Structure 1
Amino acid sequence: NDNNTFAVNNSSGLVYTVNPTVDREKIAAYNLEIQASDMGTPKLFATTSIRIIIRDVNDNQPTFTGPRSVAVPE
């Protein structure tokens, strides 16, 4: 999570996007290591890894190669 794309809600544990510009063409998947700890003494903690796979969305504008003409009968 070097570019701060994701964050974790402290109460629910929900992982959500912070950076709305996630682009599958640039990065197709993210591997995150998440660590939770308590406030006790000594501190107890647990670590887990999750993989987030970005699904592709057609975000490219349509293009035309050149002008076209079409005849339609009345």
Structure 2
Amino acid sequence: MKNYHLAKEGNAWNLKPEGGSRPVVHAATKAEAIGQMRAYMHGHEGSVKIHKENGQIQEERTYPKSADPRRIKG
């Protein structure tokens, strides 16, 4: 499963694959970036770590939800 990070860089919010340098989503606000992220992830599988402005991880989302490893009993 691919990992992505949604974080603020300068005055914009970018969604990048882990280890990647080019954003797959670029937006002026966090809310706009999350909306674009949802649309992008609709056709992709992966885990997205959403960061706060200070860089700390706020939450993690798995796409599609059925791929979330925490839902598996074990």
User: Between Structure 1 and Structure 2, which shows a larger proportion of strand residues?
Assistant: 2
Which structure carries more relative contact order (alpha carbon 8 Å, separation 6+)? Answer: 2
TM-score by length of 1: 0.30
Query: What is the TM-score with the length of structure 2 in the denominator?
Result: 0.30
More helix by share: 2
Which has the larger Rg?
Answer: 1
